[in-house]
């Protein structure tokens, strides 16, 4: 379904991959929900290899909009870009 929706509307469905991280709990279950606080996430992007995913402009505040841009940019990145960033990290 993810591949089909991505093919039909890639601007809305940016990730063509299935979602194996979605789970159905059969017993008591604890799960991570949401993101860390923005100020904690922002320090991660001080790492040089990750800076390519930041929005243009050094003075852009690290807010929900910036985080959305970063996640979207990472999801749209090609395999080589991801491999290069991984190697650099």
Q: What percent of the chain has pLDDT over 70?
A: 93
Q: What is the dihedral of CA 36, 87, 79, 32, to 10 degrees?
A: -20
- pLDDT band at 89; cut points 50, 70, 90: very high
Distance, CA of 38 to CA of 36 (rounded, Å): 6
- Domain coordinates of the chain in residue numbers? 2-88
To the nearest whole percent, how much of the chain has pLDDT over 90? 40
Q: What is the pTM of this model?
A: 0.60
């904690």: which residue's tokens? 40
Query: Greater confidence, 75 or 2?
Result: 75
């Amino acid at each position: 379904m993810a591949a089909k929706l991505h093919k039909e509307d890639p601007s809305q469905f940016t990730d063509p991959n299935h979602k194996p991280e979605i789970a159905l709990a059969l017993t008591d279950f604890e799960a991570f929900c949401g993101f860390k606080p923005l100020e904690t996430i922002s320090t991660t992007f001080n790492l040089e290899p990750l800076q390519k995913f930041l929005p243009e402009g050094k003075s852009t505040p690290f807010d929900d909009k910036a985080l959305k841009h970063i996640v979207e940019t990472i999801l749209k990145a090609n395999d080589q870009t991801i491999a290069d960033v991984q190697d650099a990290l």
